[in-house]
Structures are given as structure tokens and as C-alpha cells.
């Protein structure tokens, strides 16, 4: 027999999963906008706003569940972690909007050197893979997927610092340097939040507070 | 951790029914330890073994050691009456002596122990009622019947009665199960207050109550101690699957 709280937890989980899909789309659209110059700012803004509203909803619902059910053990860990994950997804939306704004304000990566564009693309792919992994680990509370993110997070960090070194050496135009540095900085932050989500999944499933960064 | 009880291989039976199975645990001094578990798991029997009340029931039997202040209370030569004076008990249903006044309900333990001096008795009654947070509510009419008090007041009167003989430990068997939420909150606040100077072991069916008032929690199931640890750990991150299932209501 299922418990009363199970229905609400399932609903919260479904909301988070929808947030994950929206967040992934926002980041993808913003990156395409910056790299290929395709206008997507309004759409990204809309998704980012929706993600903030959904995160507020998750927090309100979580508070209601705490008040009504006084959850303990894995229920308590799940609710606490869902609040954190909702915030992480809302941050994805915020960083997507920031990336999109780079295109709007200074023209993104249009006309920049090929090596810069291809570096940003590679880092984008890696980061989007991490976003995807965080969503998948959430979907099934899969700790194995979650644990694997650590290695990729370190790769993204390494790429971030290497890129900055290369950029200083190559003497890129100010516009391209600013655009690309901001983009990869936001990608690096998105990767961090993907790792936070995976840390939350491990906490829900095992109670262990692991650091995957 | 200063150990008040060191329980070693404790077993208890009702006739042929083995109700406590090889319990080993240490209970900290001046802390609140909650005993939780489903009905029939042996919670009440367990605390009744801590002050030799279990043996009062015909056909009951105990084996193992309950070392209290360094002495096994089941050793030959240990007086069970003295044990129960040091280790008091508060029951599920408030049970003041209905024909006695508030004053006499508190003084009865001392009187039975031969205290006759009125000044000593007055001081002890006041001190006990103050400790039980009841003094202000009854001080103007100590002669009225204990049975005339509200349920919550009666339970605090019983706590005052237990405190009057200056125990070191209070065993509480679901002390709030017959009380409304306000009376329950008062008893819970009192338990925390008393834990500064007394060791408290409380049996409760209300898990949120265990989470609110206790420092340590023990989970019993079918007479076995399944898990015992800091209340924060037990309620946030239980190690044993049975504890997790019981706490989250996924049992059976």
C-alpha cells in the first residue's frame, strides 16, 4: 500500500524532471544563439523565468510536506535535496540567460577565430552531457550515473583554465575574448551545478554527503 | 559519555514468550533516550527491566545484567525497592491517588519512607511541584484532590510524585499518549528541562515526539535492538533498513 506522502513526492519528482528538461533546452538554445547567431533570447528568458517559478513551487510544496508529514529518514533527505536540485535547475536557466545576453549585447562569437569557436563548442558539449547526466541520475535516483560526473566536472574545470591561458597567448580581439570567457565561465558554473545535483542524488539514496567537484 | 546504564545481554520472558532478546546498550547520564518500535516489540518490557518492575508480573523472568552506577541491579542482595526509588517510573495514564490531595500525592513516597517532619515534607513537595512545572498552578490549593486536576496537570503531578523521592532516573512509558497537544508540549518541555539533572528513558509511539525530545533513540523490533544512536542520525540517516522502513511508515 502506498503512503499518502508518496503521491506528493512523485509529483515533486516529476516537476523536477520537467525542470531538468527545460533547463537543458535553455542552455542548448543559448549556446546555439551565441555560436551560430540564431536569435533565441526571448525564448531563453521565458524558460529562465519559468524555472524560477517552478523552483519556488518546489520549495513551497516541500515546506507543505514538511509541515503535513514531518518526514524523516530518506523522505526527509529527498525533500531537502529536491529543494536544492530545484535551485540548481533554476541556476541553469539563469546562466543560459546570461549566455544569451552575451549574444544580444556584444554579438556573441560571430566572426571570432575558428579555434575559439571550436573550443567553446567542445566545452559546451561536455557541459550539456553533464546536464543530461544530472537529469538522468535524478530520474532514477541512480548513484552510479551521479558518481561518474566527478571526472567530467574536473575535465570542464581544466578546459576552462587552459582556454584562458590560450586566449591570453593568442591575442584575440576584445569582443571575442570577452564573449568566449564569459561563455565558458557560465559553462563552468553550469557544470558545477550539474555536479551538485549528482551529489544530492547520492545523498538521497545513501545519506552520504559526497563532494564530486 | 557518562554511562548511567550499561545493559548487557538482557533477555526477558513472559512465561515461555521471549520478549527481549539479548539487548546490549549503554544509556547516557543526564540525557533523554527514546525507545521506539511497533506495538509488541518489547519497549515497555525493556524499561520495566531497568528498575526491576518486570519481575512483579507473575510468570516473568529476566536474564543478563543491568549495571546502574556500577552495580548490577539483578545481583543477589540488591533491594528492588531501593532500585525503584533511584529509578522512578511515570506511566501512560496519569494515575494520581484519587482520594489524596495534591500535597499528599507528592508527599506519599517520602512518608512511606518514614519522613514525618512537616518542614521537610513541605519543602520537598514544593521543590517537586516546581521541578514538574506545576507549583504555580496548584500552590493556592494544595488540599484539593489530585483527581480534580486536568489530565496534563495530573501527569505533571505524577512526575512530581516520582521526583519527590529524589531519583536519578525517570522511566516514562508513553507519558503523553492520553494528553492533548498543549499538555503534551508542556510535558515535552519539562522532559528537556529535567534532562539537565536526570537521566530519562522514554517509550513513545509518537516518532515526532522521540525526534523532538530525545538525544538518543533506540529502535526495537520483535524484541531485538535493531539500531541505537544519536537521534539526529537515526531520524536523518538510519543505517538499518528496518529502521528506515519503520520511520517512513513503509513497514509490513
Q: How confident is the model over A101-114, as pLDDT tens digits?
A: 998 888 889 889 99
Q: Which residue of B has its CA nearest to A70?
A: B208
Domain annotation covers residue B5: no
- For residue B224, the SS3 value is strand
Domain annotation covers residue B6: no
Residue matched to cell numbers 554527503: A209
- Which residue in B206, B210, B237, B239 has the most chain A C-beta atoms within 10 A of its own C-beta, making it the best mutation to test that interface? B237
Asked whether A179 and A102 are in contact (CB, 8 A), the reply is: yes
How many alpha carbons lie under 13 Å from residue A31 in its C-beta half-sphere? 25
Domain annotation covers residue B24: no
pLDDT digits (tens, 9 = 90+) for A19-69: 999 999 999 999 999 988 888 999 999 999 999 999 999 999 999 999 889
Question: Could you give the domains of chain A?
Answer: 4-206 (1.20.58.220)
User: Which residues, including other chains, have CB under 8 Å from residue A143's CB and lie 6 or more apart?
Assistant: A137, A201, A202, A205, A206
User: At A2, is the pLDDT very low, low, confident or very high (cuts 50, 70, 90)?
Assistant: confident
Question: Could you give the CA distance from residue A44 to residue B191 in angstroms, rounded to a whole number?
Answer: 55
Q: Containing domain of residue B192, as a range?
A: 31-53+76-247
Q: What is the pLDDT of residue B179?
A: 86
φ, ψ for residue B84 (rounded to 5)?
Answer: -70, -20
With a cut of 0.85, is the ipTM above it? no
Using the predicted structure, report yes or no on whether residue B252 has a pLDDT greater than 80. Answer: no
Q: Would the CB atoms of B248 and A74 count as touching at under 8 Å?
A: yes
Q: What is the pLDDT of residue B61?
A: 95
- Among B64, B60, B58, B56, CA closest to B22: B64
CATH code for position B92 = 3.40.50.300
Helices A143-170 + A174-206 axis angle, to 10: 160
Q: For A147-175, what is the mean pLDDT? A: 91
Q: How many domains does chain B have?
A: 1
Domain annotation covers residue B66: no
Domain annotation covers residue B159: yes
> Using a CB-CB distance cutoff of 8 angstroms, which residues of chain A are in contact with residue B236?
72-73, 76-77, 207
> Using a CB-CB distance cutoff of 8 angstroms, which residues of chain B are in contact with residue A75?
248
The pTM (predicted TM-score) of the whole model is 0.85
Report the sign of the C-alpha dihedral through residues B179, B181, B183, B187, in that order.
Answer: positive
Q: Which residue of B has its CA nearest to A203?
A: B237
| A3, A70, A77 ranked by CB distance to B236: nearest | A77
Q: What is the pLDDT of residue A1?
A: 67
Q: For B194-222, what is the mean pLDDT? A: 95
Q: What is the mean pLDDT of chain B?
A: 95
Domain annotation covers residue B60: no
User: At A121, is the pLDDT very low, low, confident or very high (cuts 50, 70, 90)?
Assistant: very high
* Distance to chain A for B89, nearest Cα, Å: 29
Question: Could you give the CA distance from residue A152 to residue A127 in angstroms, rounded to a whole number?
Answer: 8
User: Can you read off the three cell numbers belonging to residue B197?
Assistant: 539533572
Asked whether A12 and A82 are in contact (CB, 8 A), the reply is: yes
Q: What is the pLDDT of residue B243?
A: 96
Domain annotation covers residue B184: yes
Question: Could you give the CA distance from residue B216 to residue B196 in angstroms, rounded to a whole number?
Answer: 15
| B237, B247, B249 ranked by CB distance to A207: nearest | B237
- Which residue in B204, B250, B251, B252 has the most chain A C-beta atoms within 10 A of its own C-beta, making it the best mutation to test that interface? B250
Q: Which residue of A has its CA nearest to B251?
A: A1
| A72, A75, A77 ranked by CB distance to B211: nearest | A72
Amino acid at each position: 500500500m502506498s503512503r499518502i506522502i508518496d503521491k506528493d513526492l512523485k509529483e515533486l519528482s516529476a516537476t523536477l524532471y520537467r525542470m531538468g528538461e527545460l533547463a537543458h533546452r535553455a542552455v542548448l538554445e543559448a549556446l546555439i544563439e551565441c555560436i551560430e547567431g540564431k536569435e533565441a533570447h526571448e525564448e531563453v528568458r521565458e524558460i529562465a523565468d519559468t524555472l524560477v517559478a517552478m523552483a519556488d513551487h518546489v520549495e513551497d510544496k516541500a515546506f507543505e510536506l514538511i509541515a503535513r508529514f514531518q518526514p524523516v529518514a530518506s523522505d526527509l533527505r529527498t525533500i531537502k535535496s529536491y529543494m536544492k536540485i530545484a535551485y540548481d535547475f533554476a541556476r541553469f536557466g539563469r546562466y543560459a540567460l546570461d549566455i544569451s545576453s552575451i549574444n544580444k549585447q556584444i554579438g556573441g562569437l560571430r566572426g571570432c577565430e575558428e579555434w575559439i569557436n571550436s573550443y567553446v563548442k567542445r566545452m559546451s558539449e561536455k557541459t550539456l552531457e553533464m546536464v543530461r547526466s544530472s537529469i538522468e541520475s535524478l530520474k532514477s535516483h541512480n548513484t552510479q550515473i551521479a558518481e561518474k560526473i566527478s571526472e567530467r566536472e574536473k575535465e570542464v574545470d581544466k578546459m576552462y583554465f587552459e582556454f584562458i591561458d590560450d586566449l591570453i597567448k593568442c591575442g584575440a580581439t576584445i569582443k571575442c575574448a570577452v564573449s568566449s570567457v564569459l561563455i565558458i565561465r557560465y559553462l563552468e558554473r553550469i557544470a558545477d551545478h550539474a555536479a551538485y545535483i549528482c551529489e544530492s542524488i547520492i545523498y538521497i539514496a545513501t545519506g552520504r554527503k559526497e563532494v564530486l567537484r | 559519555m557518562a554511562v548511567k546504564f550499561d545493559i548487557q545481554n538482557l533477555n526477558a520472558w513472559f512465561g515461555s514468550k521471549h520478549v527481549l532478546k539479548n539487548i546490549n546498550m549503554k544509556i547516557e547520564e543526564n540525557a533523554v533516550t527514546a525507545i521506539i518500535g511497533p506495538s509488541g516489540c518489547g519497549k515497555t518490557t525493556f524499561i520495566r527491566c531497568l528498575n526491576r518492575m518486570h519481575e512483579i508480573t507473575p510468570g516473568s523472568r529476566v536474564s543478563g545484567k543491568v549495571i546502574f552506577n556500577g552495580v548490577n541491579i539483578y545481583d543477589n542482595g540488591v533491594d528492588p525497592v531501593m532500585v525503584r526509588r533511584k529509578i522512578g517510573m511515570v506511566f501512560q495514564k496519569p494515575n494520581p491517588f484519587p482520594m489524596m490531595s495534591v500535597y499528599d500525592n507528592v508527599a506519599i513516597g517520602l512518608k512511606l519512607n518514614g519522613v514525618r517532619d512537616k518542614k521537610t515534607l513541605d519543602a520537598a513537595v514544593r521543590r517537586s511541584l516546581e521541578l514538574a512545572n506545576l507549583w504555580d498552578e496548584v500552590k493556592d490549593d494544595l488540599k484539593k484532590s489530585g483527581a480534580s486536576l486536568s489530565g496534563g496537570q495530573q501527569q505533571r503531578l505524577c512526575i512530581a510524585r516520582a521526583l519527590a523521592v529524589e531519583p536519578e532516573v525517570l522511566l516514562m512509558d508513553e507519558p503523553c499518549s492520553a494528553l492533548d497537544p498543549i499538555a503534551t508540549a508542556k510535558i515535552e518541555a519539562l522532559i528537556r528541562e529535567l534532562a539537565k539533572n536526570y537521566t530519562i528513558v522514554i517509550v513513545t509511539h509518537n516518532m515526532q515526539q522521540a525526534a523532538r525530545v530525545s538525544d538518543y533513540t533506540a529502535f526495537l523490533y520483535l524484541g531485538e535492538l535493531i539500531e541505537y544512536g544519536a537521534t539526529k542520525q537515526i531520524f536523518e540517516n538510519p543505517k538499518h533498513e528496518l529502521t528506515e522502513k519503520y520511520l517512513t511508515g513503509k513497514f509490513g
